[in-house]
């Protein structure tokens, strides 16, 4: 009887240890702070050479947790109005985003290597074309943690409001 009780306790303890993925260390460990800055370098994936294409800086800001995911928003400090959302479960990070004021879309999936403050994964971009859609770019990415973000992003209006504002301020408009 004692062995059976010990077996049941062992099974319950082992299964509960895997019930919830760890939240920390998160891409951005502090809710409400300035955020954590990473550089993200893209290497072209459509050729055999994997040539380096671009490096952008991304600020991750944590907004809380949803179930077993740490979640937040991100924005680029090097490319105007490149913004999106991220979620992290364990060391897996998923990002979705928008550039060109709702004209272009991003998806990045990468794995955080906590011992080196780096991450590695894939980055894809596409635009709407009214049909099947098409990639405008796809590549491998390397992220490197740089430190704390220097500033908070401005309030981002909806895509419709941003388009209206750009039309109102364009040359030849009445404003």
Over residues 40-54, the pLDDT tens digits come to: 999 998 888 889 999
Q: What is the pLDDT of residue 155?
A: 62
Residue 23 has pLDDT above 50, yes or no: no
pLDDT in tens, 151-169: 766 566 555 554 454 433 3
**SS3 assignment, position 163:** helix
pLDDT in tens, 73-108: 999 999 888 999 999 999 999 999 988 777 789 999
Q: How far is CA 40 from CA 35, 51, 90, 109, in A?
A: 15, 14, 20, 12
pLDDT in tens, 100-155: 777 789 999 999 987 778 999 999 998 887 777 778 889 999 999 999 998 766 56
Contact 137, 122 (CB under 8 A): no
Q: What is the pLDDT of residue 18?
A: 42
- Measured in degrees and rounded to the nearest 5, phi and psi for residue 88 equal -135, 135
140 burial (CB, 10 Å; 0-12 / 13-18 / 19+) is: middle
Across all residues in the chain, what is the average pLDDT? 78
In the block, residue with structure tokens 């430190």: 147
Q: What is the pLDDT of residue 156?
A: 61
**SS3 assignment, position 11:** helix
Contact 160, 103 (CB under 8 A): no
């Amino acid at each position: 009887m004692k062995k059976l009780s010990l077996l049941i306790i062992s099974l319950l303890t082992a299964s509960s240890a895997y019930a919830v993925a760890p939240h920390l260390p998160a891409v951005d460990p502090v809710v409400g702070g300035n955020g954590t800055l990473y550089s993200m370098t893209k290497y072209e994936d459509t050729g055999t050479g994997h040539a380096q294409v671009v490096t952008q800086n991304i600020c991750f800001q944590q907004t809380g947790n949803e179930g077993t995911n740490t979640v937040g928003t991100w924005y680029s400090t090097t490319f105007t109005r490149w913004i999106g959302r991220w979620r992290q479960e364990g060391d897996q990070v998923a990002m979705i985003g928008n550039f060109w004021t709702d004209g272009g879309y991003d998806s990045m999936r990468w794995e955080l290597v906590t011992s080196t403050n780096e991450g590695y994964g894939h980055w894809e971009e596409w635009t709407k074309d009214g049909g099947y859609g098409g990639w405008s770019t796809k590549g491998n990415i390397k992220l490197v943690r740089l430190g704390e973000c220097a500033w908070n992003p401005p309030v981002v209006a909806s895509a419709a409001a941003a388009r209206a504002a750009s039309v109102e301020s364009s040359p030849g408009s009445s404003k």
